[in-house]
Structure 1
């Protein structure tokens, strides 16, 4: 629970200590206490304490949404105020250009303590990083808010035969984890939609134009395909996981 939510382990320990070993229906009582305390902490206490650590919840709007309620329930939706501001500016500009199309965020950061790992990510540990979904389109070419996986991760826009295959290169070097998120989809959906080059390029360029953006990670073949020239676009390294199912960007 600590690995997944940061605060869950402590709350579970409190729940265990709150119920006597001799109590009837002990497991049920522990579950009830844990659930109640966890929800109170997550939605009432943590948002008010996180600013002490320089972080705040991502402010959702009609243009900016989490892919799943899980990211909010697991306290993985915290960022520094500057990143929060940037997210909303980007989402607003993108929707103005593409009516009704939202910016969808995935994992951001935990609310407390720099360098506390947000697994399976290597760097989401200081409030400066966030993952957002690629943009997809219907068979008729119209942009859509639909995504190809339940979690937002794990369904890749693979390189073509003529594009550089970073996944194969990294795995040949022994980095077996490079495409591990394919096991984290929680189910594939909307199999009729396709990756939108135009929509994703437009979103990426809006991110890159933000003065606060320091780096953006996307798979090398997509960098080439989308004709991204900015020096802010970097390769994340074989020790990480592939980035052709989402975009990662971070503050300077």
Structure 2
């Protein structure tokens, strides 16, 4: 392969891996160096994956606290909705938010599981966690809504593989923020519908009662600065708290998850 073309392909791969995982570009460089200097012939892909896994599960958790971040502490009732969140290093928060999640889980009824989605990368404030606009300082995390089985009982299952993109649509009597935003030209507003990675568990439905319990439990802590919830769900669950905000049409709709931010 032409050296110039090879260089640009590596450059593109470095950029893509860095944007997607923050440390993937470093793992690629480690893989390239290892492939060049090891006595035996190894596949660069295998070496890069090996370096990435070592960084993700061994090195990064010990380095992140220097930057004021730590992994979300998984417990019996705090779990990621999707393991990709962990594999892509999108599960880092500051200690205050981590403690608040633990306190929330302890305060929730025992049958609840607090399922989280994207949080932040492990390093560097203002480093973007795409496609999110503000998950860049350790203070934010997305949390899944709560659902119920066809018989009305609480379930910890979710309607999409990623945890995003399956919306709780407004009824004809509720305010439709998506229509309003799209009328103003914000066509990205329902973009998460393309990020489901596949819909699943079609027999479950949104639990207004249990999601309200989750939200009220989170808001019982003064450390919460704001929470984004779509307007029709605020209306449906009769939520009244000044910290519940509208995220703006420049963002995306929040009736498939909650956005939580600490001070």
- Give the match's secondary structure for 1:169: helix
Whether the 8 Å CA contact 2:64–2:122 is kept in 1: the answer is: yes
Task: Confirm whether residue 249 of structure 1 aligns to residue 260 of structure 2.
Answer: yes
Equivalent residue number for residue 176 of structure 1: 187
Alignment RMSD: 1.5
Equivalent residue number for residue 170 of structure 2: 159
Written as runs of structure 1 = structure 2, the 5 A alignment for 1:181-196 is 181-196=192-207
**1:34 to 1:214, Cα distance in 2 relative to 1, 3 A:** same
Written as runs of structure 1 = structure 2, the 5 A alignment for 1:64-79 is 64-79=78-93
Equivalent residue number for residue 230 of structure 1: 241
CA deviation after TM superposition for structure 1 residue 192, in Å: 0.6
Worse overlay, 172-181 or 121-130:
172-181
- Give the match's secondary structure for 1:19: helix
CA deviation after TM superposition for structure 1 residue 24, in Å: 9.4
- Give the TM-score normalised by the residue count of structure 2: 0.91
Equivalent residue for 2:138, pick from 127, 137, 155: 127
Written as runs of structure 1 = structure 2, the 5 A alignment for 1:1-252 is 1-20=17-36, 29-94=43-108, 97=109, 99-252=110-263
- Give the match's secondary structure for 2:123: coil
Distance 1:116 1:72 in 2: 18
CA deviation after TM superposition for structure 1 residue 101, in Å: 2.2
Distance 2:99 2:163 in 1: 22
Gaps of 5+ in 2: 1-16
Distance 2:30 2:54 in 1: 14
- Give the match's secondary structure for 2:58: helix
Distance 1:2 1:171 in 2: 31
Spell out structure 1 runs of 4+ moving beyond 2 A.
16-21
Whether the 8 Å CA contact 2:27–2:49 is kept in 1: the answer is: no
CA deviation after TM superposition for structure 1 residue 220, in Å: 0.6
Distance 2:231 2:148 in 1: 22
- Give the TM-score normalised by the residue count of structure 1: 0.95
